[in-house]
């Protein structure tokens, strides 16, 4: 279809019907075992428009997915064998779960159950996954932190700008993982845009106005 039927307007390409793919595997093997996610969760997918392929990779739609520039690695989310939602990385037909920062857990989405961490993005080179993790206080904001994961450094919490009793989250990351952006809550609850450059946090401002 053509948007508004105007010359030069973008053309929308319709994805294959995912329902017709139900017979395809939605439970790729993980590092620990083979498993099938609960029927109540919605699996993630990878659609390659140029290749004309549509692959259901499993997991669930907590947090959000991200994909590396070469399309080979996907930051996703998965219900583990213990029934807990965790951030995951899809590669070579597998969903693997990086170690969580803690074992606090939070139950906010009854449909998905308890959650340790949610992935929100992956670097272009596929080396760094970022997102949100729940700490010892569970859903309490004082231990909700943005995190980053690398194979070399594991999962680490990102430093807050200030207001340690408030939450933060990492939303996206640049190609090599050196710059991460997200939000950082102030003591008064204001949600502020933040950037972590080589791990150091700073607020995103323009003319002394805070962004988000």
Q: What is the pLDDT along the chain (212 residues), one digit of tens a residue?
A: 445 566 777 777 887 765 544 433 334 333 333 334 444 467 888 888 888 888 888 888 777 899 999 999 999 888 888 888 889 899 988 888 765 555 566 766 555 667 888 999 999 999 999 999 988 777 878 889 999 999 999 889 999 999 999 999 999 999 999 999 999 999 998 999 999 999 999 999 877 666 66
Q: What DSSP line would sit under 110-162, residue for residue?
A: TTT--BSEEEEEE-TTS-EEEEEEE-TTTT-GGGEEEEEEETTTEEEEPPPSS
The CA-based dihedral angle spanning residues 170, 41, 49, 17, taken in that order and rounded to the nearest 10 degrees: -150
Q: What is the DSSP letter of 201?
A: E
**Total-model pTM:** 0.79
Question: What pLDDT is recorded for position 110?
Answer: 52
Q: Token pair for residue 83?
A: 């029934």
State how far the Cα of 3 lies from the Cα of 153, in Å rounded to an integer: 46
pLDDT of residue 32: 36
Please report the DSSP string for 37-98 in residue order.
--TTSPPEEEEETTTTEEEEEESB-SS--EE-TTSS-EEEEEE-TTS-EEEEEEETTEEE-P
Query: What pLDDT, on the 0 to 100 scale, is given for residue 210?
Result: 66
């Amino acid at each position: 279809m053509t948007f508004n039927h105007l010359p030069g307007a973008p053309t929308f390409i319709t994805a294959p019907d995912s329902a017709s793919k139900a017979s395809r595997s939605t439970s790729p093997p993980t590092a620990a075992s083979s498993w099938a996610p609960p029927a109540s969760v919605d699996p993630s997918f990878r659609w390659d428009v140029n290749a004309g392929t549509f692959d259901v990779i499993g997991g669930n739609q907590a947090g959000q997915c991200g994909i590396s520039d070469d399309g080979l690695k996907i930051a996703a989310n998965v219900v583990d064998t213990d029934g807990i939602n965790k951030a995951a990385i899809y590669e070579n037909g597998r969903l693997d779960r990086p170690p969580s920062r803690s074992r606090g857990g939070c139950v906010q989405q009854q449909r998905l159950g308890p959650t340790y961490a949610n992935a929100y993005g992956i670097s272009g080179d596929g080396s760094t996954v970022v997102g949100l993790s729940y700490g010892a206080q569970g859903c309490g904001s004082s231990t909700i932190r943005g995190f980053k994961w690398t194979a070399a450094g594991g999962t680490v919490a990102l430093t807050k700008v200030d207001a340690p009793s408030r939450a933060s989250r990492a939303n996206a990351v640049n190609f090599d993982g050196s710059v991460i952006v997200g939000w950082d809550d102030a003591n008064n609850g204001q949600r502020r845009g933040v950037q972590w450059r080589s791990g150091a946090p700073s607020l995103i401002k323009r003319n002394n106005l805070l962004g988000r």
